[in-house]
Structure 1
């Protein structure tokens, strides 16, 4: 069977699937929104399900019109997909040939290099500085077809300034993708730069902020010419009927979104302070998760994750991921009750050292 498989696919490490968590567990692993969509959105999903025997709108015109109003972009500048991961792979498919390079500042989102490898491209890692800021000098010196920049960045939680993005755009002749999937938490965007730079793409998602992770929806904003090429390469029905209905309804209920964002940000500040009080290093975050360093307590991230898991509390072990050593873990911001359970068990771990 091996002879039928593309050689670059053989080299890709299998990503572990996320198993179903036990009943009653505290799941802070992936970074989902702890709050469900609004009742209006749930009603819209139920109504759309009545016609689930019919294919969805392949163009997604109604969704794009809502997104255009929300982002102040033009409908012709928008492409939609089955989550941001789908669009990341689409971008690699459109721009990158086999053995061509894609620049990825690390630590960064794993899907950037996974999608690059799936398409036979070559991910080029550029280490961030000690404070996780971009090393722009090293980025602009690299030769590549495509650059992925998270802002806010996953897993570090920090933003990239518009001035830094402009510097990269001015000094590089390639496609620059700014991943703003956590925009609603940070309110930091470079969308206005699209009018000046035709090689800029802004990527977003409704999974984390709008609580639609289970439906999978992402979108990108770019020059209309780039969107035309995306539409040539995208699958026939990129977004299902239920997701389209949910997105339209969510964008009609922004007050519900703002209330949930406020609760999450308030809990984030409380959790940051209290985890820090235990002796951990907690990095400032403009997202719904926290990156935590454990070295000061002489305990690895893996030990923390394993101990919490034994109590049905799930956080992410990202130690030894590209750009990180063994002393890190990442936790989502849960509800107040979930965060208190996490803190209780972190205190126990520290006191037992």
Structure 2
């Protein structure tokens, strides 16, 4: 079998399952909304059970039109996928040929690079600035004929920071490749460039239901672009890429946007409270327009891997980024939990520092 596997797949790391999650720990490592989805979503799931013997609607069914209204675009300018991860891989498949390049400002969401490698392409990384900002002119200068896609997460994951709209406009206007602006946290940041999709044919916007609507386990994401780009993407999808439960719960979530807004408001308030408390402990904390904060442990001389492990010993999970994505060994990311969960995180950090 070894001689049958593509060499670029052999070069990838083996996947290892995460430990099984228990109800006793506090999980702040995946940027999940700490609240259950809207009651309308829960009812929609119950109502959908008798329909599970039928295949889902193609092209997103009624959800496509509802999303178009929500995003203030035409129905033909929306594509729905099995989470934004699925759409990232689809974009790479459609726009990049093997051995061509994808430009990725690092640190950022690792799925951009993984999808490029899976499709036999070459991820080319550019280092972000001191505060994880982007040097737009440098990115433009690095684009070559082999560059087919640039991924920009806005806000960025794991650092939480935003790119100014005018900087994004400069980038889109001055490159001859696709620019994908990943707005997975749009409802929290309230910044978008989706209004430009017909001004710039090389722009594609990604969004997700995982964070703001609390549907992470159902895997539902969507893209916004000009109709021709969306048509090409749909030509390359599976026939039924999104399951019926996801389609129906997406519809239900959009009928109760006020629920999502209220939960996001709570998360943003908690985010600023948590950021202030952790800064008072002596950590470096970066500004965030998301439901997480990015923390630098270097001011306290603590390796992030050690701190993350000691938090796990107290049943609190955050994500270690020390030594990853081109970073020094001093960074971790924590999602914003409930008020009680955030207090327990503060208490656990205090214990770690007290014991040296």
- Tell me the TM-score range normalised by the shorter chain: over 0.9
Instruction: Give the match for residue 260 of structure 1.
Output: 263
Q: Hey, what's the Cα distance between the residues in 1 that align with 2:111 and 2:220?
A: 15
Distance 1:146 1:160 in 2: 18
Give the C-alpha shift of residue 170 in structure 1: 1.5
Q: Which residue of 2 aligns with 1:175?
A: 178
Question: Any conservation in 1 of the 2:322–2:331 contact (CA below 8 Å)?
Answer: yes
Q: Does 1:287 align with 2:276?
A: no
Among 339, 342, 346, the alignment partner of 2:345 is 342
Q: How many residues align?
A: 353
Superposed CA RMSD: 0.9
- Cα deviation for residue 22 of structure 1 reads 2.5
Where does residue 244 of structure 1 map in the other structure? Answer: 247
Structure 2 stretches lacking a partner, 5+ long: none
Match of 2:40 in 1: 40
In structure 2, distance between residues paired with 1:317 and 1:150: 19
The structural deviation recorded for 1:23 is: 2.6
Structure 2 counterpart of 1:226, from 229, 250, 254: 229
Once the two structures are TM-superposed, the CA of residue 15 in structure 1 deviates from its matched residue by 4.0
Given that 2:84 and 2:206 are in contact with CA atoms closer than 8 Å, whether structure 1 keeps it comes out as yes
The aligned counterpart of 1:2 is: 2
Gaps of 5+ in 1: none
TM-score normalised according to structure 1 size: 0.99
Q: CA offsets, 1:72-123, max 9 Å, x none?
A: 0110001000000000000000000111000000010000000000000000
1:92 aligns with 2:95: no
The Cα shift of 1:39 comes to: 1.0
For the residues of structure 2 that align with 1:156 and 1:84, how far apart are their CA atoms? 19
Decide which moves more: 132-141 or 284-293.
Answer: 132-141
Do 2:198 and 2:225's aligned partners in 1 also have CA atoms closer than 8 Å? no
Q: Matched residue of 2:58: which SS? A: coil
User: What TM-score, normalized to structure 2?
Assistant: 0.98
Cα shift at 1:19: 2.6
Runs of 4+ in 1 over 4 A off after TM superposition: none
Query: Following the alignment from structure 1 to structure 2, what is the Cα–Cα distance between the partners of residues 172 and 264?
Result: 36
State the match for 1:65 in structure 2.
Answer: 65
* Aligned mates of 1:314, 1:68 — CA distance in 2: 37
Q: Distance in 1 between matches of 2:72 and 2:305?
A: 43
What pairs with 1:210-225 in structure 2 (closer than 5 Å)? Answer: 210-225=213-228
Give me the whole-angstrom Cα distance separating, in 2, the residues matched to 1:281 and 1:16: 31
